[in-house]
Amino acid sequence: MRTSYRTKQRHRRPTRNRAVAAVAYPAVVLAAVSAVSLGNIAPAAAHTGEHTVRSGDTLSKLAAGHGTSWRGIYADNRATIGANPNLLRVGQVLRIGGAATLAAAPSAAPERASRSGRAAPAPSPAPAAAPRSYGAWDPHVRPAVQEVAERFGVSTVVTRPGHSPTQGRAADFMVHTDRAKGDAVAQYVIDNAARFGVEYVIWAQRVAGPWTGWAWRDMADRGSATANHMDHPHVSFRPAG
């Protein structure tokens, strides 16, 4: 029996428009990739100083590869990353130092963005300072770092290889956007400079030390908020003895 032309037409499966499918959906995916890091990153040596964000980076994977926590990396680079830790952009330079993080143990890492490109909700703020060994600093520096951190509720204090004057005699008290807390920390350190054995203090693009009579002196613009010490007072300590 011959099949009519209409019968063939009725049973023919519709052909998908491949051109449309190949253009419309990947456009959404690419937008998400440009806004947030997806994928894996190979482990790196711990505490390597700076890292340039590449496609595939996330804070949790950077933390695992550098032997630290994603909260610590975010705290050190908030001025660069912005308010949402889920949004990393290719080409951003992040500081991943030899951090001694005084915050409590981190909770789950931030979730990846959805396929629609919408970022997951930002995690809650880090808790107040928790007791630590302060082993990243020289023994004579540890009591001062602990006293300042606990007195002012600074949840994150960091140091790193190459820190001035040395990794064990420098501390960055991360106050982020809390200018009042930064002012209080810096002034307290200056008021107790002799007792703490402080060599100099840098805060909000200013420096104070014995050569300035412990009065603030303006510094040159170094570019970013972190480089200008707008989000942390930097304290350098003298050698023991």
Question: Could you state, in order of their start, the residue ranges of all structural domains in the chain?
Answer: 18-124, 142-237
What's the pLDDT at 99? 43
From 89, 113, 114, 115, select the one nearest 25 (Cα to Cα): 115
Q: How far is CA 26 from CA 18, 21, 54, 89, 188, in A?
A: 13, 8, 20, 19, 55
- pLDDT by residue (tens digit) across 157-204? 999 888 889 999 999 999 999 999 999 999 999 999 999 999 999 999
What's the pLDDT at 132? 53
What's the pLDDT at 118? 52
Give the whole-angstrom CA distance, residue 182 versus residue 143.
19
Scanning 176-222, the segments in alpha helix (DSSP H) are 179-191, 193-196
Give the whole-angstrom CA distance, residue 196 versus residue 172.
15
Residue tagged 């930002």 (tokens): 122
* Total-model pTM: 0.51
Residue tagged 């001694």 (tokens): 100
What's the pLDDT at 88? 85
pLDDT higher than threshold 50 for residue 239: yes
Question: Which range among 17-21, 29-33, 72-76, 108-112 has the greatest average pLDDT?
Answer: 72-76
What's the pLDDT at 93? 81
Outline where DSSP puts E strands in 64-143: 93-96
pLDDT higher than threshold 60 for residue 116: no
Give the CATH number of domain 18-124; options: 3.40.50.1980, 3.40.140.80, 3.10.350.10, 3.30.1330.40.
3.10.350.10
- Helix, strand, or coil here: 154? coil
- Helix, strand, or coil here: 47? coil
| Cis bond before residue 165 (omega within 30° of 0) | yes
